[in-house]
Structure 1
Amino acid sequence: MRATELAELAAFEAVARHRSFRRAGEERGVTASAVSHAVSSLEARVGIRLLNRTTRSVSPTDAGAMLLAQVSPAFGEIGSALDALNQYRDTPFGKVRINAPNSIAPFVFGPVMGRLIAANPKLELEIVATDRLVDIAAEGFDAGIRLGESLREGMTAVRIKPQLRFAVVGSPDYFERHPAPKVPADLKDHVCIRNIYPSGTAYSWEFSRAGKVVAFEPTGPLSLDDHELMVEAAKSGVALAYVWEDRARPHLQSGALVECLAPWCAPEDWLYLYYPARRHLSAGLRAVIEALRA
């Protein structure tokens, strides 16, 4: 098989797997138009349409689905074989793409990125930080980061550091005007920021103490999806914020913010790195996991 034919098959496999020319191009490091041209050349060469294309979606035809089922394992084996060459290198080689929530990515990767790249100079680490829900397999990520070990079927989870904690914070000026809450039920008498995902869905402020778990649903005038904005709003004295303690720590140390309900804000569940169980664990991803567990 000629190199151009193999490249066309690889482009088709990526598009059919991601159902997207753009995502396939990102994975392969080329433009979406280059991937589209490669797939069109393959279809012209075999004389069969392999993909259904609309302005909104891409999906394999029956012939394309059959071809995908046969070539995907082959490309997986090729990838594994190439990765096995890492045993003959001093350090891992290649790209590792990881998705992580924007709100916690700095605490996960900030302490390890420098020494990880220094120890593995041939490793290319790509981190996409977003709080939207991401299907890592569909979007071409090697792994993702999330709270808790509860994952959908077909994923492997590895516990990593750090263990994070939420805190309820407000400005000294706010607490001069409002008595600090003693228990979560007192929050109903306070102005509280609503925490939302990028989709607009709100999530509760959760507390626990002595085995008792309490959820509070804020109804304040502010709804934010960014913890930095929540910290700034709390510093302005307009409301209380429920944020990662590490986000607020510099302002707690400077006195710009004051924490309340500390006995109710127990450490969160552990963070986990997760990846498709069927996917070959590359030497690069293994190096990332080792760094995040250390």
Structure 2
Amino acid sequence: MTSDLSELDAFAAVARHRSFRKAAVERGVSASALSHALRSLEDRLGVRLLNRTTRSVTPTEAGRQLLARLDPALAEIADALAALNSFQDVPAGTLRLNVPRLAARFLLAPILADFTAAYPRVQLEIVTDDLLVDVVGQGFDAGVRFGESLARDMIAVPIGRPQRFVVVAAPGHIAARGIPAEPRDLMAHACICRRFPSGSRYAWEFERDGQALTVTVDGPLVLDDDEVMLRAALDGAGLAYLSEGHARDAIAAGRLVTVLDDWCQSTARLFLYYPSRRQMPPALRALIDMLQGR
């Protein structure tokens, strides 16, 4: 009994995502075509692999066992194909990245035109997602995250400058509410809160003279997008905790002012990371070289 490898790969994608729609987007096909392929596979095997309802798709017990065996095998095949790229004179193929929105805007967007011009045989696919995902399980070649978020079995390469985070507010807001003298004073101020994709709220981090401090702030807004936070701060909605690079233009123009500068000394670094057991594709090496060159 034989099955087409593309059908098995399609099953693995649907089972991982638990969604025909998401798997279809990943594979560049329609959800209906993917559903048809999976039904054909189940008919040929004589085993139901997926439980389908109008709201969810989950692997059956047979599907879970098959996926557990398939994932390592498909990864080995992907590694074997990636190894062949090293024999090519120029990088080629598809390179899939999972990156947070901030990195997509400020690190990747400025180099996209240059990269595609320099490597026309590479198709670069970027998925912006602030949720920390399993890049291997989700079919990505690499991801970008801050260093403290990375799993230990990943090879991490620093990209971009270290990012300092600052507390900013509109001058009018400061004139009306006053200046916090120390981080704990923020608890009495209107702050623009940050919510992670997991649903938890970010506690603002500070450091001075080796003393680290976190403050759980509160306020009228809970947001998950830096651009919206910046706009809200500019409009006087409250204090915001943003990367200095993101707020630099508004600070230089006097539209925002910084507070607690002596407590905003720590920096964070973005890393591009990929599985340590995989050989780096030439296209990924080319992208890293371009990012580090900037």
TM-score normalised according to structure 1 size: 0.86
In 2, distance between residues paired with 1:67 and 1:205?
Answer: 44
Question: Residues 275-286 of structure 1: matches in 2 within 5 Å?
Answer: 275-286=274-285
User: Which residue in 2 is equivalent to 1:164?
Assistant: 163
In 2, distance between residues paired with 1:149 and 1:16?
Answer: 29
Equivalent residue letter for 1:206: E
Equivalent residue letter for 2:211: K
Q: 1:179 to 1:125 in 2, by over 3 A?
A: same
User: Which residue in 2 is equivalent to 1:197?
Assistant: 196
Contact 1:12 1:39 in 2 (8 A): yes
SS class of match (1:177): helix
Equivalent residue letter for 2:178: P
Contact 1:7 1:38 in 2 (8 A): no
Question: Residues 101-116 of structure 1: matches in 2 within 5 Å?
Answer: 101-116=100-115
Equivalent residue letter for 2:140: F
Q: 1:177 to 1:71 in 2, by over 3 A?
A: closer
Provide Cα deviations, 1:34-74, integer angstroms capped at 9, x if missing partner: 12211221222233333344442321533x45544555454
Q: How far 1:251 moved relative to its partner?
A: 0.7
Contact 2:18 2:56 in 1 (8 A): no
Q: How far 1:202 moved relative to its partner?
A: 1.2
SS class of match (1:162): strand
In 2, distance between residues paired with 1:77 and 1:116?
Answer: 28
Equivalent residue letter for 1:168: V
Provide Cα deviations, 1:176-220, integer angstroms capped at 9, x if missing partner: 234323322332343222222244421111110110111122122
In 2, distance between residues paired with 1:229 and 1:46?
Answer: 50
Q: 1:200 to 1:67 in 2, by over 3 A?
A: closer
In 1, distance between residues paired with 2:67 and 2:237?
Answer: 55
User: Which residue in 2 is equivalent to 1:227?
Assistant: 226
Equivalent pairs, count: 292
Q: How far 1:84 moved relative to its partner?
A: 3.4
Q: How far 1:133 moved relative to its partner?
A: 3.9
User: Which residue in 2 is equivalent to 1:209?
Assistant: 208
Provide Cα deviations, 1:116-150, integer angstroms capped at 9, x if missing partner: 22221111112222323433333332222211245
Contact 1:91 1:121 in 2 (8 A): no
Provide Cα deviations, 1:142-176, integer angstroms capped at 9, x if missing partner: 22221124533543333222211111111122232
In 2, distance between residues paired with 1:67 and 1:234?
Answer: 51
Equivalent residue letter for 1:57: V
In 2, distance between residues paired with 1:87 and 1:146?
Answer: 26
Unaligned runs of 5+ in 2: none
User: Which residue in 2 is equivalent to 1:146?
Assistant: 145
> Is 1:93 aligned to 2:107, yes or no?
no
In 2, distance between residues paired with 1:90 and 1:12?
Answer: 34
Identity of aligned residues (%): 48
User: Which residue in 2 is equivalent to 1:292?
Assistant: 291
Equivalent residue letter for 1:264: W
SS class of match (1:202): coil
RMSD: 2.7
User: Which residue in 1 is equivalent to 2:182?
Assistant: 183
Question: Residues 1-294 of structure 1: matches in 2 within 5 Å?
Answer: 5-54=4-53, 55-62=55-62, 64-65=63-64, 67-68=66-67, 70-152=69-151, 154-294=153-293
In 2, distance between residues paired with 1:193 and 1:203?
Answer: 11
Q: 1:217 to 1:147 in 2, by over 3 A?
A: same
Unaligned runs of 5+ in 1: none
Contact 1:170 1:239 in 2 (8 A): yes
In 1, distance between residues paired with 2:137 and 2:80?
Answer: 23
In 2, distance between residues paired with 1:201 and 1:224?
Answer: 11
SS class of match (1:86): helix
